[in-house]
Structure 1
Amino acid sequence: MTRVLYLIACAAGPTEYVDEGVRQAQARGWDTCLILTPSAARWWEPRMAELENLTGHKVRSQYKLPGEKDALPKADAMLVAPLSCTSLNKWGHGIADTVALGLVSEGVHLGVSVVAMPYFNRAQGAQPAVARSIADLRAQGVVYLDGPAGYESHPPKQGNASAFPWFRALDAIETIVEPRP
């Protein structure tokens, strides 16, 4: 039986390459469902069909309407990558104003394994709210990958979005999620 991964991407540089993250997850045997924040979905709008063909699922970026059936299978794990500074702070403060943040805010408290790997610059990371948000998420059981084990913040205007280490986030997922029998 195939495990289901929700790959949740925010409006941060590596989201331009989220198809690479999907392919890497699929190569590891994950049925990968893609959820984008509304801003990230705008980046892919002209090519959304490409992502849906790649995943075999509808790409979600909006909450469903009342009475609407869930479009995605139940998740075994959730990976928020890349996690923007804005979404980190909203999530850390319990603001679930997007389906992307709503799914992980709820998922971690329903026993779903949740891993997050950021992508933002050092100036953004210096905001005092960032450290508080990271601590709050870790206290809830979110595996937050920063530093050498995840993503190390880059100097402003010097990030390399195409070199985002998707493999590190997927390695972390593999270590915490049991294989299905």
Structure 2
Amino acid sequence: MSAPQSEPQARKPFLYVVVCASGIAGDVGKLITAAQEANWDVGVVVTPQGLGFIDATAVEAQTGYPIRSAWRQPGDPRPLPPADAIAVAPATFNTINKWAAGISDTLALGILCEAHGMGIPITALPYLNAAQAAHPAYARSLDVLREMGVLLGSYEPHKPKAGGGADRFRWEEALELLAPVVSRQA
């Protein structure tokens, strides 16, 4: 008599968290924890400049996956499963404008530009100061991202040179914005 076979476990949805160079990037563990508590597996993609703003060892221990920041070589295995959704948090002025313009000069931007064509739901939580937000390129870039279906967070830009508004940045808003979109796909 053979042992009963167990049912295969359903794969959890996989969330890419794209982290940009910002003073609050070191708190990305808050989003990772919230996503894991909401039954997501999480992988982190960081802009090259963003690497200096996070504790890579802690993030890798929390997610169980290596952080991605550079393209892999042809033939190298993919270190992360395919994304079911993407959260860009914090999304900086630089990344928002390059992404909207279709500039793909980093792995993070390459993933974001390609994700649109693949129909992957994306949310972005902008984090920038009011002087940056006053630049006309920023408003145009947000319009382009909205046209692409990107779900944008509600953070109001902080005063320049005022130490940011980290206490007002809601990491969990990324999951709140994605929830209705992801549930329709399930």
The question of a shared fold, defined as TM-score above 0.5 by the shorter chain, is answered with yes
Q: 1:109 to 1:43 in 2, by over 3 A?
A: same
C-alpha separation in 2, matches of 1:107 and 1:153: 26
* Residue in 1 that maps onto 2:142: 134
Conserved in 2, the CA contact under 8 Å of 1:3 and 1:180?
Answer: no
Deviation, structure 1 residue 157: 2.3
Q: Partner residue of 1:67? A: 75
Q: Please state if 1:78 is matched with 2:82.
A: no
Partners of 1:10 and 1:56 in 2: how far apart?
Answer: 20
TM-score by length of 1: 0.91
Runs of 4+ in 1 over 6 A off after TM superposition: none
Report deviation, 1:125: 0.3
SS in 2 for 1:115: strand
Rounded Cα–Cα distance in structure 1 between residues aligned with 2:53 and 2:25? 8
Per-residue CA shift, 1:116-173, capped at 9, x if unaligned?
Answer: 110001100000100111111111121122xxxx211111123132542011121001
2:170 is aligned to 165
One of 16, 22, 40 as aligned partner of 1:12: 22
The match for 2:181 among 165, 176, 179 is: 176
Q: Who is 1:156 aligned against?
A: 160
Q: C-alpha separation between the residues in 2 aligned to 1:41 and 1:126?
A: 27
Deviation at 1:180, TM superposition (A): 7.7
Q: Which has the higher helix share?
A: 1
The DSSP-based 3-state class of the residue aligned with 1:141 is: coil
SS at match of 2:17: strand
Whether the 8 Å CA contact 1:17–1:162 is kept in 2: the answer is no
1:23 maps to: 33
Q: Distance in 1 between matches of 2:97 and 2:53?
A: 22
Task: Tell me if the contact between 1:14 and 1:162 (Cα under 8 Å) persists in the aligned partners.
Answer: no
Q: Relative contact order: is structure 1 or structure 2 higher (C-alpha 8 Å, sep ≥ 6)?
A: 1
CA contact (8 A) 1:6 1:33 kept: yes
How many residues align structurally?
175
Gaps of 5+ in 2: 1-9
**Which amino acid in structure 1 is aligned with residue 14 of structure 2?**
V
> Any gaps of 5 or more consecutive residues in structure 1?
none
Letter in 2 for 1:19: G
TM-score normalised to structure 2 length? 0.89
Amino acid at match of 1:167: E
Q: Which amino acid aligns with 1:156?
A: P
Percent same amino acid at aligned positions? 38
Gap change, CA 1:179 and 1:59, over 3 Å in 2: farther
Larger gyration radius, structure 1 or structure 2: 2
User: Secondary structure of the equivalent of 1:166?
Assistant: coil
Give, as a single letter, the amino acid of the residue that structure 1 aligns with 2:106.
T
Preserved contact between residue 46 and residue 67 of structure 2 (Cα < 8 Å): yes
